[in-house]
Amino acid sequence: MHNVKEDVDVYEMYGKDSKIAKDEFIKKHNVKETGLSTKKAEENIRNLGLNEIKQAKPKKWYNYLLESLLTPFNCILIGISIILVYTDIYLAEVPSYANIIVIAILVTASTLLDFVESYRSNKAAEKLKEMVATTAVVIRNGKKVEIPVKNITVGDIVLLSAGSMIPADLRVIEAKDLYVGQSSLTGESDSVKKTVELEETEEKVDSIAELNNICFMGTNVISGSAKGVVIKTGDNTYFGKIAHTLSSGKEKTAFQKGIENISKLLIRFMLVMIPLVFIINVEKHDIVLAFTFAVAIAICITPLLLPVILSSSLSKGAVRMSKKKTIVKKLDSIQNFGAMNILCTDKTGTLTEDRIVLEKYLDIKGEEDTRVLKHAFLNSYFQTGLKGSIDEAVIKRALENGLEEVSKKYKKIDEIPFDFSRRRLSVIVSDGTKKQLITKGAVEEILSICTMIDYKEETTPITKEIKNNIEKIAKKLNEEGLRVVAVCQKNDIENIEKFDVSDEKNMVLMGFIGFLDPPKETAKESIEKLNKTGIRVMVLTGDNAEVTKCVCNKVGINSKNIVLGSKIDKISDLALLRLTKKTNVFAKLSPIQKARIVRVLKQAGNIVGYMGDGINDSPSLTNSDVGVSVDTAVDIAKESADIILLEKDLNVLLDGVTERKKNFCKFNEVYKNGNKF
């Protein structure tokens, strides 16, 4: 979790733009529906600079040089050389420069080696990171365009949806059930609802938590959609102002702690040895000679080349791993990547093809019904949130069935976006004569809001027998490996003007749509190889147990014992740890439950990797020792990850791990062959 000390005047920064009404804000800032022109955007960037935080900007060459020079061991040697200037030159009858020259050569060699490797590897890493740079959707010249975050400027209209990173400080001008995660700034895990107008408050606003119509750079959209106008960029943002007070959300890894402990141990050893050697020798020799000998001992036990070997090994490993389609964002993560003994992964796209195909569209009795496909198509076609593979599969199948004309007969009225607690999404459409609310989502969640069923255009109340039969059909489809989504609708909504989640009730169940996401041909072989290298693969998924079991059986993961998220909430961390020892598959998990499993595994002494690409994977990516994502992941997942794969395939991850292990073996070989540190 990030720790923030608020040392900026929030009211001074945002009070004026936050307190005025939307229309007044638009007029004041001359905001146009067409957004900025290219010319105006370029002018703003010239005047205000790129949208970058000073602390996050690429380092200059001299920054790397200073870091290489001022290592703990170099500082000790520099201190010793200063003392030698006094003893060997100032006090000595015949000045001797030999020891000082030797130390100068060693420090220079150590610094230059470290500098060359660090500078070269970091420059290579910067180029690689550009391949997965975070982007944002803005309106420029009246068109939606996707641009790098650094090119966003004041006045830009930014479009937000679930999974988006907030690219700058924005004043919200349109919002639909917008919930934003601000834990990176406030430390609060609960998402915050953002609205167009500021809630009435008599007191002066002095915290960002009170600014419900401002979205802040560095936070992310949990659910909903919105439009916002950029009011501050780069160092002028709240994030920029308090960047120096932010501590990393990730704990130090075992590798980092180990290096720190070695350094501290050696320094403590020197601090004890130098006075001791001096005291023993001062009785037999003069002070200068005794002190010189003590200093010589310090030089001997100082591991001069330890930082050089570490940095060069890690940086070379990063460059080699890049050739295996594995991009290393943080050099320190390489050690954990190769040392991990547990890999937690989501199911979709990692074990499966992530090539979802709509196989079936059935009514409530399991018979094919084009009306179910039609309603699902309208929902997927008109929704404007985070369009996933399910929506794309629905639209593709509908177009193949000649339903393209249907979309032209309807007009979108409103939308209730998807979120991970409801696990459903609704759109409100009209054909000119009546409004219709159409909802699709997980079977359990849809059943919970339906009181009627539609069978062959006749509606009847849901009975217990009908409900049991519906659940039976859905379970059978799941066992066949199909992911099932239910579809429902409601017509008596003519008097409703503004729609929200509370309107999703007393609905009519239409039927199901079933999707097939076949297992990857390479998944079984990859898992076997990972197991042979000592990495246990665990599946943490939000999908239901039946589909998960079907996929896991096909790829060779033991799914005899599947634990559901509902059980996890009822047990302690100790009991959960016992479960993880005999369970490889966890299903129906929320994002928080996934993160908890990762945390418990890590606290038990395991080195845990987590592979994910969705919004719900972000907490787990942060909690793990090494977070792995892919270049097609949502923004927040890419930002949370330590390592990014250019292909969502366990084979690519396996290649990266193998390359890392080779790198570690070479490091050990160098160490054992007698290279003196």
Q: How confident is the model at residue 342, as a pLDDT? A: 92
Average pLDDT on 461-468 reads: 91
User: For the ranges 50-54, 223-227, 415-419, 633-637, which has the lowest average pLDDT?
Assistant: 633-637
Please give the positions annotated as active site. 346
Residue pair 375/438 in contact by the 8 Å Cβ criterion: yes
User: In the beta sheet, which residues pair with residue 562?
Assistant: 585
Residue pair 350/650 in contact by the 8 Å Cβ criterion: yes
pLDDT single digits (tens) 313-361: 666 666 677 677 777 766 667 777 878 889 998 877 677 776 788 989 9
Q: Is the pLDDT of residue 268 over 90?
A: no
pLDDT single digits (tens) 9-49: 787 888 888 889 999 999 999 999 899 999 999 999 999 99
Q: How confident is the model at residue 206, as a pLDDT? A: 64
Instruction: Return the higher-pLDDT residue of 676 and 451.
Output: 451
Instruction: Look over the chain and give the mean of its residue pLDDT values, rounded to a whole number.
Output: 80
Task: Provide the residue count of the chain.
Answer: 677
Average pLDDT on 249-259 reads: 63
**SS3 label, residue 457:** coil
Q: Is the pLDDT of residue 507 over 90?
A: yes
At 127, is the pLDDT very low, low, confident or very high (cuts 50, 70, 90)?
Answer: low
Question: What tokens were used for 406?
Answer: 């249907």
CATH class of 357-516: alpha beta
- What is the spatial distance between Cα 540 and Cα 596, in angstroms, rounded to a whole number? 11
Q: Is the pLDDT of residue 202 over 70?
A: no
Query: pTM (2 decimals)?
Result: 0.59
At 163, is the pLDDT very low, low, confident or very high (cuts 50, 70, 90)?
Answer: confident
Residue pair 607/342 in contact by the 8 Å Cβ criterion: yes
DSSP 388-404: -HHHHHHHHHHHHTT-H
The β-bridge relationship of strands 626-630 and 608-611 is parallel
- Delimit the domains of the chain by residue range: 10-51+152-245, 61-130+250-310, 324-353+520-672, 357-516
Q: Is the pLDDT of residue 245 over 60?
A: no
Strands annotated E in 73-201: 135-140, 143-148, 157-161, 169-181, 192-194
What fold, for 10-51+152-245? 2.70.150
At 118, is the pLDDT very low, low, confident or very high (cuts 50, 70, 90)?
Answer: low
Return the CATH number of the domain spanning residue range 324-353+520-672. Answer: 3.40.50.1000
